[in-house]
Structure 1
Amino acid sequence: MHTSTFTGPVQIAIIDNHTLFRQGMISLLGDFKEINILFDAENGEDMISKLKKTSLPDIILMDITMPVMDGYAATAWLRENHPTVKVLALSMSDDDKPIINMLKNGAVGYMLKESKIRDVVYAMQTIQKHGFYLNELVSGKLLYTMQNKNTPVDKSKELTSNELTFLKLSCSELTYRQIADEMNLSPHTIDNYRESLFQKFGLKSRTGMVLFAIKNQIITV
């Protein structure tokens, strides 16, 4: 029996509708013995049919915008049918909305498509080890909180009711200005709530807040 210290290559799959991008990733990742590519697919539907013919990957690199079955639907399907498979979202931009939606559908991190291949490998190794990849989203303080799942703390109790409302609205598609209107508060007050949450929980971005809210079950997805 293997000891827990032994870890073989991370078994992965690449789902993206651009053939050249998939082939490029396969070629680049082929240089890393830490990674083994089980298969690639052009959309979520193609992924589902290929999953029936192969062993489950540890991690799937998932494009967001794809025809037939996009990254949101494919990630939600995996969470429902194969919850052990982790999804690392691949995004063309660091726009909040698609990344937030991918996290809410079950992704455990995201990478920009322009990232260096070594950073993608590091992200997958981090997911394999910790279950999620936070990159610049949040600080080590949140990483520590998430890893200590055996000591559940109701984080919502550390928030004022307005901070809690702000946090929940930040997990929507509303802009900060629209959140201010929704809460009948000034944009300056909203900025203060955001900074307070960032400081209190070691967050660094809106996407980090969403990940925090999901992990601590402050919002249900």
Structure 2
Amino acid sequence: MNEKINIAIVDDHTLFRMGLSSILHESPAIDVLFEAENGRELQQKIREKTPDVVLMDVNMPIVDGYEATSWLKTNYPGVKVLALSMYEDDNSIIKMIRCGAAGYVLKQSRPGQLVNAIEMIYSSGFFFNELVSAGLRRNVLRDDSTSRLSDREKQFLEMACSEMTYKEIADKMFVSPRTVDNYREALFEKLGIKSRVGLVLYAIKNNFYKII
């Protein structure tokens, strides 16, 4: 990669933010434009310098990661958001993706993994971690994968992007929870996906769900 990727780091923990900035400054592929301690400060600073990628913490005071990501999607749609998560919490990660994030990394990831995530989200628009297999990575980039899905699987896929539990999805679809489990497992098998987060990424990439 010849050109540097300009990034911003948004996190309310000062030591973590400064440490992350210091680590990324050592990468020849990345240039840290600025840091911000919450979404409000991001909104102020981005008017002067626009990054390619924003590393966005989820839980912050004043303006949290959800609101800041939605704001970026509306006002700076070309900026990619890579969510920073402390835990592998499907609900918060999926909510961030619905707000406009194009992937996530755990805060305890190794520096090399983080740099790889930044490079991947910059070049391909999405970042797929170990929970999303190579099968999805192939399927999400080709148009014919959706033709293998039944109408009911497509309906389930769209609902999987919501905050509904699988039981609530079953009630909405007027089927048993076991049937919904079958839809989920069939999609995992057909698309090479291992998690609900992977389903959401696939759905957004293939226009089953429109980001707000």
| TM-score with structure 2 setting the length | 0.91
The answer to whether the Cα contact below 8 Å between 1:154 and 1:216 also exists between their aligned partners in 2 is: no
Q: Is the aligned partner of 1:127 residue 2:121?
A: yes
Alpha-carbon separation, structure 1, partners of 2:160 and 2:104: 18
1:34-113 equivalence runs, <5 A: 34-54=29-49, 56-113=50-107
Unaligned residue ranges in structure 1 (runs of 5+): 1-5
The answer to whether the Cα contact below 8 Å between 2:12 and 2:36 also exists between their aligned partners in 1 is: yes
Give, in angstroms, the shift of residue 137 of structure 1: 3.8
Give the secondary structure class of the aligned counterpart of 1:210.
helix
Alpha-carbon separation, structure 2, partners of 1:216 and 1:11: 27
Give, in angstroms, the shift of residue 30 of structure 1: 2.4
Give, in angstroms, the shift of residue 60 of structure 1: 0.6
Q: Which amino acid aligns with 2:75?
A: N
Count the aligned residue pairs: 211
The answer to whether the Cα contact below 8 Å between 1:170 and 1:206 also exists between their aligned partners in 2 is: yes
Percent sequence identity over matched residues? 48
Unaligned residue ranges in structure 2 (runs of 5+): none
Q: Is the aligned partner of 1:211 residue 2:201?
A: yes
Tell me the alpha carbon deviations over residues 123-178 of structure 1, each in whole angstroms, 9 at most, x when there is no partner: 00111221211112433333234334xxx5582x5432322232222111122233
Specify which of 16, 24, 27 is matched with residue 19 of structure 2.
24
Shift >4 Å, 4+ stretches: none
Is 88-97 or 26-35 further displaced after alignment? Answer: 26-35
Alpha-carbon separation, structure 1, partners of 2:55 and 2:138: 25
1:162-173 equivalence runs, <5 A: 162-173=152-163
Give the secondary structure class of the aligned counterpart of 1:13.
strand
Give the secondary structure class of the aligned counterpart of 1:136.
coil
Alpha-carbon separation, structure 2, partners of 1:52 and 1:183: 45
The answer to whether the Cα contact below 8 Å between 2:84 and 2:105 also exists between their aligned partners in 1 is: yes
Q: Which amino acid aligns with 2:72?
A: L
